[in-house]
Structure 1
Amino acid sequence: MTLSTDSTSTDSTSTDKTTDTATQWQAANAARSALYRWFADVFARELTSDTLNDWQNNQTFDGIHEAFVSLDLEPYSARVKKAIDDLEQLPKEHRALELAADFAQIFLLSGDDSAPPYASYYLSEDKQLYNEPTKQMHQFLASQHLKLHAEFHEPDDHVSVYFMVMSLWIDSSMEQNIDMSDVAQEQVEFLDTALLSWLSKFNERCQKIRVKTDVYPALVALAEQFVLADREALDF
């Protein structure tokens, strides 16, 4: 004998839970993609005066800060927020210039005096660029039919590329409605092998570079914690 009424109720409850989970996953993915893309943009080039003004005057960063707070990353995001607020101590016309100088000091000078944003530097014994990580990322981009923007004149293993790949990958999985457990495991493996294998070393080096402001050291510290939190959330 079967209990058809109870069975129907159970099926309905199960379906509702599945729908709720899928909806939550879609919402989480939209936020994840936006934050990965934000980091990709931040590290790809110097912050412009327009971006800086937007962050300071239009409360744009306040919204981003709230997103990080929801991920239990408030201390790290608060550090970035304070660094941005501290820029007001400088003449307005000098702020973007100081940030450009900091960007160059941390990311563009020789390895001994900076923190190169390339996986090859941290994963190769000789710390030379264009090593195996560059080739691996190039192959990965090709396999996913992705190309770097023509104006982005950096090796394929630049930190911004990893963040942008994650953003595009998340967007693609949502558009194709791919099973979340499968894509989550694939993304965990990518983060572990391609990004987290060197991101902590990159962050440690960034914290040691003497710069005028704390904006970029704070951003890199936040980026590492965000990736760690995202990786943990994916491991369900």
Structure 2
Amino acid sequence: MTLQDATDTTAAPQLSPEQQLAGEYYQHQALICQWFATLLAKELDETALKAYMSGEAAPLLEDLEGISELAKPVQQLSQAISTLHLLEQPKLELAADFASLFLSDARHSPAPYASLYLDDGRFSGPSLQRMQARLAAIGMAVSAELTEPADHVSIMLDYLAEGYRQLAEHPTPAAEATVANFVNEELASWLPEWANRGQRIDTASQFYPALLSLVAAYFG
């Protein structure tokens, strides 16, 4: 988790069968967003790397592959995962890829900050301020473990995951519109450029470039 929040003790209302189905859908959306957020927040640790290399992500990827628009990027990510064992030092080489993509010169790399794409290349611009306001409005803050500004993609995806979880419990047209607007205006508008930048960086593995393509396609 990249965000921290206060405990919500509000009891969830009784849901109709239709609302229960919608709730299951939104819980699944939250799961996907949380998965993306976790992968983009920091390098894979040894436990996570072993899990991927042992095939634990296969069921989730197979589920996503069933969506026609996602088939190609899912296949690319699956292929990248299946070849991780060919790396001499997978953990170190993936960590180097992570640094090359997300921690290097923002003018040329796919730096994971919305401001870079939405605010004419300026960091700490209106995009950051909007995210800070959104987090404050729901009583959430960036985890102390992640020293990143609020417009970092992993934080935005974590926030979106929370929005979907709230929708699962309280599905209303207004809340649905709020979440949809966030996706369209704050994510979908810049993720394709971000993913394209990732394809231009020389990496030891295609794991992260494929992941970026999948994230962009998922919200496209």
Q: How does 1:20-35 map to 2 (within 5 A)?
A: 20-35=17-32
Q: Compute the TM-score of the two structures, normalised by the length of structure 1.
A: 0.82
Letter in 2 for 1:162: M
Letter in 2 for 1:88: H
The answer for unaligned runs of 5 or more in structure 1 is 1-17, 229-236
Partner of 2:9: none
Give yes or no for contact 2:103–2:111 (8 Å, CA) kept in 1.
Answer: yes
Give yes or no for contact 1:40–1:160 (8 Å, CA) kept in 2.
Answer: yes
Match of 1:61 among 57, 65, 73: 57
Could you tell me how far 1:20 is from its partner in structure 2? 4.2
- The CA RMSD over aligned residues, in Å, is 1.6
CA distance in 1, matches of 2:118, 2:168: 32
Task: State the SS of the aligned residue for 2:198.
Answer: helix
Give yes or no for contact 2:73–2:213 (8 Å, CA) kept in 1.
Answer: yes
4+ aligned runs moved over 6 Å, structure 1: none
Could you tell me how far 1:70 is from its partner in structure 2? 3.4
CA distance in 2, matches of 1:225, 1:40: 15
Q: Does residue 132 of the first structure (1) align with residue 126 of the second (2)?
A: yes
Could you tell me how far 1:67 is from its partner in structure 2? 2.4
Give yes or no for contact 1:33–1:170 (8 Å, CA) kept in 2.
Answer: yes
Could you tell me how far 1:55 is from its partner in structure 2? 1.2
Give yes or no for contact 1:65–1:74 (8 Å, CA) kept in 2.
Answer: no
Partner of 1:9: none
Which has the bigger relative contact order, CA under 8 A and spacing at least 6? 2
Partner of 2:75: 78
Q: How does 1:38-187 map to 2 (within 5 A)?
A: 38-57=35-54, 59-72=55-68, 73-91=70-88, 94-125=89-120, 127-175=121-169, 177-179=170-172, 181-187=173-179
Could you tell me how far 1:42 is from its partner in structure 2? 0.4
Moved more, 159-168 or 111-120: 111-120
Letter in 1 for 2:128: T
Q: Tell which structure's C-alpha radius of gyration is larger.
A: 1
Task: State the SS of the aligned residue for 1:101.
Answer: helix
The answer for unaligned runs of 5 or more in structure 2 is 1-14
Give yes or no for contact 2:101–2:201 (8 Å, CA) kept in 1.
Answer: yes
Letter in 2 for 1:169: G
Q: Compute the TM-score of the two structures, normalised by the length of structure 2.
A: 0.88
Give yes or no for contact 1:83–1:215 (8 Å, CA) kept in 2.
Answer: yes
Letter in 2 for 1:48: D
